[in-house]
Amino acid sequence: MSGPVENFEFQFCMSASKLLDRDVLSKSDPMAVLYVKNRRGIEEEIGRTEVIMNSLNPVWVTKFNVIYQFETVQNLVFRIYDIDSKYHNTPVKMLNLNEQDFLGEASCALSEIITRQNQTITLGLQSKLSSSRLQLGTITIRAEETVASKKVVKMTFRCSQLKNADIFSKSDPFLRISRIVETGGCVPICKTEVINDNLNPVWKPVTLTTQQYGSKDTPLLIECFDFDNNGNHTFLGKFQGSVMGFQKLNQERTGGNLYVESSFNHQLKKTLKAQFFVDNFCEEIQYSFLDYISSGFELNFMVAVDFTASNGNPQSPQSLHYIDPRGCLNSYQQAISGVGEVIQFYDSDKLFPAWGFGGKLNDGSVSHCFNLNGSLDRCEVVGVEGIMAAYSTALHTVSLHGPTLFGPVINRAANIASESLNHNQNKYFILLIITDGVINDFRETKDALVRASSLPLSILIVGVGGADFKEMQILDADNGQRLESSSGQIAVRDIVQFVPMRELWGEISITQALLEELPAQFLSYMKLRNIKPLFAQHGLTPY
């Protein structure tokens, strides 16, 4: 089910040590510049520090703000310059870097910083000349997440004796919660689900962050509406309170009356019979995806490649499996490298299980889950490069066949995820399935997905070519309905994200489209199992 990508803002604090001394009568006057490479590899300057006078071990005060995006590889470049004394009164933004002495540069991915438990990394500075062996010192970068608080309040709202605004049935009420700002206006911050045909509704718990509601005594407005498909919802009444007031209502087990304002004079209020209640109220810590990752949780990458005959003869340029000698990646290679290059930073050993399905092996048997590296007992390969090499080799040793069955590879991945729970709970698995066709074991696939929904596993499916992928959309459950197995069992959570490659365009890459739901799926599993980040398990706090 699609939802907002969980992005975070970080502040970078930087220092350097043992810099080269470029000045004659004093020490260097260093300034650091941060760049981020965009998708086309072009460097975009983020900012510059102040100049530290006469120091080879500077600690800069200026901090840089960078938005972390899980679904992309954000390559950072740090460059340090010795600023000529005649420019010391010039604003740093106005400095021509070509007129300053270059002291060294270092690069890394943002993921490499934030996956470390202390979110700090020290990099050796290098010359622009790769052949140079001159020791240029080091730069240390520390990332600090700019989040005010992780505390949230979780409340269950209920209303009684609502007005019936419908003729042939009862009202279909929902609540809209808004923060009242100093100017008197309202900023909507949350909305409940619609409860059909009910004048005494109890809504699902609402979770509000401090970023949403402000302080506990900030005035909040609760508005109740009768839902209408045309968008002209009927107003049923409102209630003004605060988080502190809601807590008091819950403690005293009392309700407050809804009211409406006079259309002629807003100071005149008419009290209604309808009442508003807070059935449950609790405060808790809402841990983020990064709280888990930075405390030692890992993402483990797995891939399964479609070797069915509908892909076309790999020797033909028209085949979806064609390996272009000029280095242009086919759709399978694009998906493997794109997703793998993001996930690899979150996996310490970088040993990735890789399988094929729907292919005929050398012994003449058709397998729906064979090791891509040709090994009989080990399915892991080393790094993204290992997957790409095993895939290329398998195209020469495995004959394309069929049919297209997903069940065996999903069950194999689920077994690995299940077995990991016997050792530790700090691993979460991502299976990438790349396919060109309609699946022939739809019922078995649904059953496998429902069973796997309780495991630390997410499944990304890429559709390549021009096949009809309607069934994939059902597996994705973007219609809000969870999958149901043939025995009537309902999936405990959504674990599938499907993306047809032919529908991607513009600035959205296949990797971004595939990974946008992954942090939320990860968190849904941790919440399901009541698993806390490692620092919380040891009684520590992240702030």
> In order along the chain (543 residues), what is the average pLDDT of each group of 10 residues?
53 92 84 89 90 92 86 92 87 90 94 86 87 83 74 94 90 92 80 93 91 87 90 91 96 95 77 95 87 90 96 95 93 93 92 97 95 94 96 96 95 96 90 92 95 96 85 74 89 91 64 86 92 71 48
Contact indicator for 100, 52 with CB cutoff of 8 Å: no
Determine the pLDDT at residue 5. 42
Distance CA 2, CA 460 (A): 13
Whether residues 232 and 127 share a domain: the answer is no
Distance CA 99, CA 47 (A): 18
Whether residues 281 and 293 share a domain: the answer is no
Determine the pLDDT at residue 4. 39
Query: Is 499 inside any structural domain?
Result: yes
Say how many residues make up the chain.
543
Whether residues 440 and 358 share a domain: the answer is yes
Distance CA 191, CA 195 (A): 12
Whether residues 346 and 454 share a domain: the answer is yes
Structure tokens at 218: 């900030």
Whether residues 53 and 104 share a domain: the answer is yes
Query: Is 463 inside any structural domain?
Result: yes
Strands 427-435 and 298-306: parallel
Structure tokens at 533: 């980040």
Query: Is 539 inside any structural domain?
Result: no
Whether residues 319 and 433 share a domain: the answer is yes
Alpha carbon distances (Å) from 330 to 14, 44, 171, 472, 512: 41, 29, 54, 21, 18
Query: Is 113 inside any structural domain?
Result: yes
The CATH number linked to 60 is 2.60.40.150
Whether residues 520 and 446 share a domain: the answer is yes
Determine the pLDDT at residue 205. 92
Distance CA 156, CA 137 (A): 57
Determine the pLDDT at residue 446. 94
217: which residues sit within 8 A by CB, 6+ positions away?
242, 243, 244
Domain C-terminal end among 145, 175, 199:
145
Specify which residues 434 forms β-bridges with.
305, 462
The CATH number linked to 486 is 3.40.50.410
Query: Is 2 inside any structural domain?
Result: no
Determine the pLDDT at residue 291. 86
Distance CA 367, CA 257 (A): 66
Query: Is 181 inside any structural domain?
Result: yes
Whether residues 202 and 337 share a domain: the answer is no
Determine the pLDDT at residue 265. 67
Query: Is 542 inside any structural domain?
Result: no
Distance CA 431, CA 534 (A): 24
Q: Which domain covers residue 449, as residue numbers?
A: 289-534
Sheet holding 366-367, edge to edge: 366-367, 359-360, 399-400
Alpha carbon distances (Å) from 417 to 353, 359, 453, 463: 12, 25, 11, 24
Distance CA 410, CA 451 (A): 10
For tokens 């994705």, what's the residue?
476
Whether residues 332 and 431 share a domain: the answer is yes
Contact indicator for 149, 287 with CB cutoff of 8 Å: no
Cβ neighbours around 352 below 10 Å, total: 26
Domain C-terminal end among 251, 266, 285:
285
Whether residues 335 and 187 share a domain: the answer is no
Dihedral sign from CA coordinates of 40, 44, 46, 52 = positive
Burial class (CB in 10 A: 0-12, 13-18, 19+), 148: exposed
Whether residues 103 and 163 share a domain: the answer is no
Output the CA torsion 380→383→387→393 (10° steps): -90
Domain C-terminal end among 128, 145, 162:
145
Query: Is 222 inside any structural domain?
Result: yes
Q: How many domains does the chain have?
A: 3
Of 122, 83, 120, 127, the C-alpha closest to 105 is 127
Structure tokens at 85: 């004394």
For tokens 């009202």, what's the residue?
171
Whether residues 246 and 320 share a domain: the answer is no
